[in-house]
Amino acid sequence: MSSLTIIGNWKMNTTPSTARILAAEIRDRLRTDGETDTLVVLCPPAIALESVSGALNGSGIAVGVQNIYPSTSGAFTGEVSPQMARELAEFVIVGHSERRELFGESDEFVGRKVAAASEAGLRPILCVGESLDIRRSGHAERFVSDQLLEGVSRLDNASGLIVAYEPVWAIGTGESATPEITQMMLATLRHALVSRFGEQAASVPHLYGGSVNADNIRDLVRQPDIDGALIGGASLSAESFAAIVKNAAEICA
């Protein structure tokens, strides 16, 4: 069985109580399906972390946060430090295109977050991806490789890292990137990571994100360099999220 990672990003959806219900539904569906060899991670809003961790306790499903601030503690009103998140979560999404676009996060800031997450023992899920304009310009691979290398620039090694390629034009649009485009991009990114950190980086999970559903997941994970997916919209339904995990696991078995 090749390793498979499926991550749900709930974004700013659910409340602490509805998050608990959704997590419990996903837990129950995956328990029935017996998908034990797949790494499954749910990333609820920070305010729902405790209720979701409680619902997932003992299930084998891990929890992640959607964001952190790269400082241990201090006068940063409204922010969550990696150390705070680490008590309830093992993973953190960093550099999502919504944070880059809506909150002005630069590559440099993303790199600080990745380093702060690693130092605190959180596994960073580093998101990278190009806009439609950049894809049309023909420079997508160079642009995304640069984003990746900036994101990891403060790390000494790639241990614990997860890379998620999420083309901006495919997020929430219903139009996912083709398996071929994604395969090419992820092979390029894996190569860039190995050049930076050496052979140990070859085993870093490389995921695809952007309009993944229970149908298109099959052809995506058939590609040699696509190790799983980061799922937004379809992770808000226990039925579709569990179907994605199940269909992907069947292909990778």
Enumerate the active-site residues. 96, 166
Torsion of CA 3, 144, 243, 26, to 10 degrees: 90
Judged by CB, which is closer to ligand PGA: 197, or 217? 217
Torsion of CA 237, 240, 242, 243, to 10 degrees: 170
Judged by CB, which is closer to ligand PGA: 44, or 209? 209
**Residue sitting closest to ligand PGA (CB):** 232
C-alpha span between 126 and 192 (Å, rounded): 14
CA dist 201 → 20, 71, 163 (Å): 35, 26, 11
Judged by CB, which is closer to ligand PGA: 197, or 238? 238
Q: Tell me which residue of 170, 152, 184 sits closest to 216, measured CA to CA.
A: 170
Structural contact between residues 95 and 151, judged by C-beta atoms closer than 8 angstroms: yes
CB of 102 to ligand PGA, least distance (A): 12
Which residues in this chain contact ligand PGA in the complex, by CB under 6 A? Answer: 9, 166, 171-172, 209-212, 230-234
CB of 196 to ligand PGA, least distance (A): 24
CB of 41 to ligand PGA, least distance (A): 12
